[in-house]
Amino acid sequence: MADQAFNRTKVGVLGGGSWGTALAIHCARLGHDTVMWARGSDTVDAVNRLHENTVYLPGYPCPPSLRASSDLGAVITGSELLLMVVPTQYIVTTLGEAAKLLQPHQVMVSCSKGISLASLETVEELLERLVPPEFRSRLAYLSGPSFAAEVAGGQPTAVTVAAKDDQLAARVQALLSNPRFRCYRSTDVIGVELAGALKNVLAIACGISDGLGFGNNARAALITRGLYEITKLAVARGANPLTMSGLAGMGDLVLTCTGDLSRNRTVGLRLGRGERLQDIQASMGGAVAEGVPTAVAIRTLARKLGVECPIMQGIHRVIHEGANAQEVVTEVMSRELKPEVAPDIIKGVIANGSNTNLMEVLAAAGPPQTPAVAEAPPPALKATALEGAAATAARNPRSILCDGGRSGEREDGAMRTATVAVLAAGAGAALGAAVVAVSRWRR
């Protein structure tokens, strides 16, 4: 990993909640000159005087070098790298006129996850509308499985940094990575953005399931079929389906749907136990569960795109229409029985040759014929390499994938995480290919 001494810069973190504080702590530990903007004077005072955000992240000390300020303009103009960590529904009112202060040499990284309830815009679309036109190429987006408390505590974490310019993504990647916080990069901004936003609603669904006393079977079904709905929506908006099998997709989904630190899952858990949403939100001390407003946005977006999302629709009914959760579960489970793989996907595979798998169908299809899928599929070479690696690992469990493409063996024959990740990515890729195939076949 590059020597961090050569990557130190001035960082401004916009947002003093738990996630903003965790990222500010991380940046200060990296040696960056870090200032965190917070709206509340109590938060600013606690960080500067007690070196701890006793309001939103109590119990996690801040490095003495970390400073807090309530002067948004000063934080923006005094920083080279800006981390936007404001809840999605407040980005417009927070940034507003201050966006005019942005300079071409600066970089802004959005670390918020959600969809605007008012406009159905992703954070990317909101920011591109707010910032000066010449600054749009300086925007990047961070997402992935990352509980604030664990990042603040220095626990190992891996995330994705997305930007339309790969060189910009690589620069942010270098500035934010260390042995405890590893950043991967992507150019699929819309995929990373939608995966991060949509999983929050599914986390509420898993919480409701747990609150109702359902078991692991139900949670696994929700995660799997929910990922299918997320992938359909994301692809319809132009995302690369393979992103859904990565850290921003499957990684964040599993964490948020199963982790006890998940605010969205906690909201669902309490809903499942019979509490009212208003009472739950009032007890959260100002913390925001993004899945609550995002559920409304997803329902509207799914209708607009013509994408069937029974799980997402059911969650909206429970959260915002007061529907009985038990009855919604029964309705979703009692729908018309269907094949797990749609018949038109099978037709697409057959049409391309009986010996052709879904990854090859995707690679051979070339660029999509409709703007509904904006990203071209990965080259056939990459698809073949992925399948080859997975097949090798499956044939020989003692063949272990290592950094640099080398292989090694362990005496116990156990598979390393890297090998498991390749196999999981292969499964995710097949799902993504299937969604693209059905989208093209139907349109």
Catalytic residues: 199
* C-alpha to C-alpha distance for 146 and 144, rounded to whole angstroms: 6
Q: Are 419 and 393 in contact (CB under 8 A)?
A: yes
Q: Are 159 and 142 in contact (CB under 8 A)?
A: yes
Contacting residues for 8 by C-beta, under 8 A, at least 6 apart: 30, 31, 32, 33
* C-alpha to C-alpha distance for 379 and 337, rounded to whole angstroms: 35
The conformation of residue 308, written as its DSSP 8-state character, comes to -
Q: Are 65 and 29 in contact (CB under 8 A)?
A: no
- First-to-last alpha carbon distance for the chain, in angstroms, is 45
Closest of 78, 76, 77 to residue 86, by C-alpha: 76
The torsion region of residue 308 among left (phi > 0), alpha (psi -120 to 50) and beta comes to beta
Q: Are 114 and 87 in contact (CB under 8 A)?
A: yes
Q: Which residue has the tokens 């995480």?
A: 417
Closest of 407, 373, 411 to residue 393, by C-alpha: 407
For 277, the token pair is 């949403």
The conformation of residue 247, written as its DSSP 8-state character, comes to I
Q: Fill in the amino acid letter for 41.
A: S
Closest of 86, 83, 88, 299 to residue 193, by C-alpha: 88
* C-alpha to C-alpha distance for 88 and 399, rounded to whole angstroms: 44
Contacting residues for 271 by C-beta, under 8 A, at least 6 apart: 204, 207, 208, 211, 277, 280, 318, 319, 325
Closest of 348, 369, 366 to residue 358, by C-alpha: 348
The torsion region of residue 154 among left (phi > 0), alpha (psi -120 to 50) and beta comes to left
Q: Helix, strand or coil for residue 396?
A: coil
